[in-house]
Structure 1
Amino acid sequence: MDKRMIAGVEVEVGSGNVFADLGLPDADKLLIKSELTIEITKAIRAHGLTQAEAARRMGLTQPKVSSLLRGEFSNFSERKLMDCLNRLGYDIEIRVKKASGAAGHLMLTHA
């Protein structure tokens, strides 16, 4: 990683994936799940939904919505998080393209 001096303090520039920077396994998947969770949170706020209303729309229990809004997404699959966004009125598009290197990576883009 790139190291820089800022105001006399040495800092390490992150890769853009905090989970990879921490050396966690499945860092790409964790990043996708965290970004999907952020989008769900934004959607709930944009619609002005209570947790109970959001739970009904997403097919979850209110306690699960509460956990999700606190950033606890480890018990949710990527597919379930995408389903929640669909139920909140969002389209999800998956695009596959050849990677520039030997191994590809997962990425979420926002429209």
Structure 2
Amino acid sequence: MSEENTPIEFIKSSGNVFEDLDLEDAEELLIRAKLGYTVRQILESRHLKQQEIATLLKIKQPEVSNLMKGKYHLFSEGRLFGFLNKLEQKIIIQIAQHRTGEPLQDVTLEK
């Protein structure tokens, strides 16, 4: 069989890349990624400079750099919630019965 005709093998994602990579605390990492991404999107949409972001979020410039580079694992969920509050975002926490196959934690972003 030629290289062109070799079937490509793949594994279907669980929906959580961190779980697929078999990382510890995969659900927590996914939550942080979703929250951090939301913070970054809001900041980018406002076209703020890093010093302005540091002042707004009351953090140091190296932390702004980490946030804008997507290093969300360096920030706790509580800290990311605090950033969203400072960006005047409403956060709703909903608790529901867990169903088999669903993640235990999830973040839904309203557009």
TM norm structure 2: 0.86
Q: Does 2:62 match 1:67?
A: no
**What is residue 13 of structure 1 aligned with on the other side?**
12
| 1:43 partner letter | I
CA distance in 2, matches of 1:64, 1:99: 35
**What is residue 43 of structure 2 aligned with on the other side?**
44
Stretches of 4+ moved more than 6 A in 1? none
Q: Does 2:109 match 1:110?
A: yes
Tell me which structure has the larger Cα radius of gyration.
Answer: 2
CA distance in 2, matches of 1:103, 1:51: 37
Q: Tell me which moved more, 97-106 or 12-21.
A: 97-106
Measured on the aligned residues, the alpha-carbon RMSD in Å equals 1.8
Report deviation, 1:75. Answer: 2.5
> 8 Å contact 2:33–2:73 — kept in the other structure?
no
CA distance in 2, matches of 1:8, 1:43: 42
Deviations along 1:53-110, one digit per CA (max 9) or x if unpaired, are: 1111111111101111112122211000111011112111110001113996110101
| 1:44 partner letter | L
Q: Match of 2:9, SS?
A: strand
> 8 Å contact 2:39–2:83 — kept in the other structure?
yes
The answer to which structure has the higher strand fraction is 1
CA distance in 2, matches of 1:20, 1:77: 19
The answer to which structure has the higher helix fraction is 2
| 1:8 partner letter | P
TM norm structure 1: 0.86
Gaps in structure 1 of 5+ consecutive residues: 1-6
CA distance in 2, matches of 1:41, 1:12: 30
Task: Identify if the C-alpha distance between structure 1 residues 57 and 13 changes in structure 2 by more than 3 Å, giving closer, same or farther.
Answer: same
CA distance in 1, matches of 2:83, 2:51: 14
CA distance in 1, matches of 2:103, 2:30: 15
CA distance in 2, matches of 1:49, 1:42: 11
Q: Which has the higher contact order (CA 8 A, sep 6+)?
A: 2
